[in-house]
Amino acid sequence: MRPDNNAAASNFMLLLKKYVVENKNRILFGAAALIGVMALLGFLTGMLTTYSGKGIYIGFSMILAVMGIAGASQMFGEMKARQGRISTLMAPATVTAKFMVRWCVWVVGSGIVLLVAFEVGDLMRVLSSYIFKHPSTPLQWDSFRTSVLYTIPMCGMIYLAVQSFFVLGAILWPKLSFIKTIVALWVMQTVTGVLATVGLMLAEDSLLYVNIPALNLDGDWIYWTGMGFMALVCAVNWGLAWLRLKEDDVI
């Protein structure tokens, strides 16, 4: 049977509306908390220093990234209890629609809130700095200008790739998802590190070891390979999360 795309789109919009209305408090509170924390942080930073370099932006970005990732861990929060699982699984929509609705809110929506929170935090920093420190030279308020434009897509992709592990963790472990995903990532990293080390040690001693000449790779190649790898990580993790939702049962 040919899928009815209009019906699917309509169903998706209905489900998105249902999700936003039913989780309005959680979503609004999360967004307000994020912006509020950044405003306070910016205000305190401006009160304590007139420093306006990239270090500020890196610090802000790191805090926001952690908050965004923690938010993604709540993507399937309503499925912690059996009642919520029943409600989610019995909603008359496709698995793709159910996944995409949450993806739109917790990946795209939270990304927009993060950008807003960043700007609010930076604005508060500049304002409080003028109020309390009276700087003689104008402070920088150009977080997204050309000087850092080159790094933003890569930083964004790294953020999405890391976040995608937490999206997967959210459906694998709806309870204590954030902590369990961190532990899982730490275990994965440790195992990978140990295996790589052992592999290199064995290769050095074996006859199969071949001395590969140093590759002369240009910056663009590394950049786009890195971007592609991050995109692949995102696609795999989101795909696995979709599959887990599809195979999920009430117990």
Partner 1 sequence: MLTIDNLKFGYSRKHRPVIDRFDWQVAPGEICGLLGPNGSGKSTLLYLIAGLLTPASGVIDYKGMTPRQRQVEFLNDVFIVPEEFSLPSVGLESYINVNSRFYPRFSARDLKTHLEIFGLTEDVHLGQLSMGQKKKVFMSFALACNTSLLLMDEPTNGLDIPGKRAFRQAVVREMSDERSIIISTHQVHDVERILDHVTIIEPGSGVLLDASMAEVSAGLRFSYTDSRELIESALLAVAAPGGANIVRMGSDDLPETEVNLETLFELAQQRPDVIASIFAKSKKRD
250 is a site residue for partner 1 (CB under 8 A): yes
Nearest in space to 65 (alpha carbons), one of 76, 55, 75, 57: 57
The distance of closest approach from Cβ of residue 250 to partner 1 in the complex, given in angstroms and rounded to an integer, is 4
Size of the site for partner 1 (CB under 8 A): 28
Count of all residues that appear for the chain in the document = 251
Question: Which of these ranges, 22-30, 54-62, 131-139, 230-238, lies near partner 1 under the rule CB under 8 A?
Answer: 22-30
CA atoms of 232 and 226, how far apart (whole Å): 10
Backbone angles phi, psi at 225, to 5 degrees: -65, -45
225 is a site residue for partner 1 (CB under 8 A): no
The distance of closest approach from Cβ of residue 161 to partner 1 in the complex, given in angstroms and rounded to an integer, is 30
Q: Quick one: which of 6, 25, 137, 216 contacts partner 1 (CB under 8 A)?
A: 25
Q: Quick one: which of 84, 109, 111, 156 contacts partner 1 (CB under 8 A)?
A: 84
Q: Quick one: which of 93, 100, 162, 234 contacts partner 1 (CB under 8 A)?
A: 93
95 is a site residue for partner 1 (CB under 8 A): yes
5 is a site residue for partner 1 (CB under 8 A): no
Nearer to partner 1, 87 or 190 (CB): 87
Nearest in space to 49 (alpha carbons), one of 126, 117, 119, 157: 126
